């Protein structure tokens, strides 16, 4: 499990709140078996103001899933910055250096998933669904 803590300050407010993102350990999903074996599944939980949890991420190996989960976390934080929130380090209260989420960044990531020949169509649909929920 990976837990990322940060201070989140809403626009036009002085008080910060301690928030976190938790990326669960990738596990084998035994509910479906494919010709090449089982898929791995990983869940990401957000504690911020939206109380949003992303849909699970599936893939054929745990490393790819962790990369996708961390990319979703980054997109989520960038969306908060775009909405005017300030994200800071817990101990030093120094602001994190994250670029704002741009429309071209989103389109590039979606195209990467759509054009990846190593991801099945079913997995592409689930990944894109998860990305859309994080971005909205």
Are 124 and 113 in contact by the 8 Å Cβ rule? The answer is yes
* 63-87: average pLDDT: 86
Q: What is the pLDDT of residues 79-90, one digit of tens each?
A: 888 888 889 999
Q: Which two tokens stand for residue 60?
A: 């054929």
* 47-68: average pLDDT: 77
Q: How many CB atoms lie within 10 A of CB 55?
A: 16
Min mean pLDDT across 14-18, 100-104, 124-128 is at: 100-104
Q: What is the pLDDT of residue 88?
A: 92
* 87-101: average pLDDT: 85
Residue 64 pLDDT > 70, yes or no? yes
Question: Whose CA is closest to 125, among 136, 110, 135?
Answer: 110
Tell me the Cα Rg of the chain.
16
Backbone φ and ψ for 57, nearest 5 degrees, come out as: -110, 130
Q: What is the pLDDT of residue 94?
A: 92
**How do the domains of the chain map onto residue ranges?**
2-135
């Amino acid at each position: 499990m990976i837990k990322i803590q940060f201070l989140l300050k809403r626009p036009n407010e002085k008080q910060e709140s301690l928030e976190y993102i938790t990326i669960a350990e990738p596990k084998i999903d035994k509910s479906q078996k494919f010709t090449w074996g089982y898929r791995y599944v990983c869940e990401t939980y957000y504690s911020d103001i939206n109380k949003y949890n992303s849909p699970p991420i599936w893939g054929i190996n745990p490393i790819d899933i962790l990369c996708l989960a961390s990319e979703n976390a980054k997109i989520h934080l960038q969306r908060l910055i775009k909405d005017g929130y300030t994200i800071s380090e817990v101990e030093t209260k120094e602001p994190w250096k994250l670029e704002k989420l741009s429309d071209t960044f989103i389109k590039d990531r979606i195209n990467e998933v759509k054009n990846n020949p190593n991801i099945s169509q079913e997995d592409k649909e689930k990944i894109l669904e998860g990305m859309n929920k994080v971005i909205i």
